[in-house]
A and B are shown apart, each in its own frame.
Chain A
């Protein structure tokens, strides 16, 4: 949100299990409608991800990030 406020197009990615706290932060920051992308299982929320897991997730998330930033989602 701070990047957005600074004029930098941005999108936050949070784990599904942290959706509630992300929404709470958005609400107390005066941006209750702030959108973010979520990651879900099999990616464990707090974990030491292997390089392979990271790459696999990146391949899934990159198009979603691009779509969100360009308003195509």
Chain B
């Protein structure tokens, strides 16, 4: 049963145009959040509409399950995606997810949703070739649902509380899965304390994406050198409020992953190898300290397709990466 105000329209086109007019979309058409669909989404997640998923105290915002469901419908989600959306909203709205800062910042930080566990394959979340881009409904709509919640519930509207100088296309949607089947690497959510059979999302606040290309290395250590030099070219300042728990996400591409597997490197081996090198003192403006408090703060994720000798560095904005189980 929905408690939201209901509007009647003569046609789908009239509804979409009115939503554009009212500023309820990200600039793209939406699906109508009918009471029936919103109820179906809530039932799928086993939630009542008034359950609170999180708050943004600085904005006087409380996000309920019903609001999240309406935005998930609008984003084009299927009902079975909604538990993942709920987890993403909860993660983003946790205190150290720092919604107010990461969605209001001049830098235009984006929110990355990384999906782990069995739900990836159940929903068809892309984790291989093309997984950062268009063409995959779960990736496109789960990430978009979080962004619509940020806009329509958390008031992250450009020119209002969203003060980004440029913003980024990653703010339409940025969601992908970890390719857990690529190797015996411990999946991200297991590294963060959850059981392998538990599905989960990790929401990471993204300041900047850097492609770390390396077509010449043929060893794990050589790839690590490339990762370090690319991260240190940007630097990571760290933040006293976040303390020692800050993160950087490194998405290891297929061709680089191959070298780690051949040489028997685990994720932990990579973390231990990278950590002192990232935290070493700066030597120049182009070689800066990347301040990560602990090796475990370096989050290693396997994803992407074959071909390019590249990994991606998801450099953080002022928030922790938050892992939340999908229930």
Chain A interface (Cβ < 8 Å from any Cβ of B): 15, 17-18, 41-42, 44-48
Contact = CB atoms under 8 A, between A and B. Distances in A.
A52 to B, nearest CB: 12
A41 B258 CA distance: 10
A46 B307 contact: yes
A7 to B, nearest CB: 33
B213 to A, nearest CB: 9
Interface of B: 215-216, 218, 255, 258, 306-309
24 contacts: A15-B307, A17-B306, A17-B307, A18-B307, A41-B258, A42-B218, A44-B215, A44-B218, A44-B255, A44-B309, A45-B255, A45-B306, A45-B307, A46-B215, A46-B255, A46-B307, A46-B308, A46-B309, A47-B215, A47-B216, A47-B255, A47-B309, A48-B215, A48-B216
Given A17-B307, A44-B218, 15 more contacts: A15-B307, A17-B306, A42-B218, A44-B215, A44-B309, A45-B306, A45-B307, A46-B215, A46-B255, A46-B308, A46-B309, A47-B215, A47-B216, A47-B255, A48-B216
Main secondary structure of the interface of B (DSSP, over half): loop
A42 B308 CA distance: 14
Nearest to A42: B218
Nearest to A50: B216
Contacts of A17: 306-307
A67 to B, nearest CB: 27
B143 to A, nearest CB: 26
B219 to A, nearest CB: 12
A18 B307 CA distance: 8
A47 B255 CA distance: 10
B44 to A, nearest CB: 35
Contacts of B215: 44, 46-48
A61 B308 CA distance: 23
A18 B308 CA distance: 11
Nearest to A47: B215
Nearest to A20: B129
B129 to A, nearest CB: 9
A15 B308 CA distance: 12
A25 B94 CA distance: 48
A56 to B, nearest CB: 13
A41 B306 CA distance: 11
Contacts of A15: 307
A15 B309 CA distance: 14
